[in-house]
Amino acid sequence: MFQDPPNCALNALTLCENEALAFETAYQIVIDAASHIMTSSQLFTIARYMEHRGYPTRAYKLAMLAMKNVHLAYNQVTVVQDWFDQTAEFQLV
């Protein structure tokens, strides 16, 4: 994963999900790679995975990182906003 985070991130997280330390390490590599080598689409995919695995805070963080590089048309904003609203509800709990 260290050599190719964009293409290995989701697989690495999936393989490590039963090993807490390895999972955290893989997650930190994704966070570190988010700003310079991963696309918004890749980050949103990993954020969706995190949400489904029960990590809403991590999903939210990844989605926020993904949003830094997203350019949406006016009619696409509501779909993304709905997802953020649902994810943000977990932040308040």
Render pLDDT for 6-33 as a digit per residue (tens, 0 to 9): 778 888 899 999 999 999 999 999 999 8
Q: In angstroms, rounded to a whole number, what is the distance separating the alpha carbons of residues 58 and 38?
A: 16
Q: What is the pTM of this model?
A: 0.71
* 87 band by pLDDT with thresholds 50, 70 and 90: low
For residues 51 and 87, the answer to whether their CB atoms sit within 8 Å is yes
Residue 40 CB-density burial (10 A; 0-12 exposed, 13-18 middle, 19+ buried): middle
- Look at residue 70 in the predicted model and tell me its pLDDT: 73
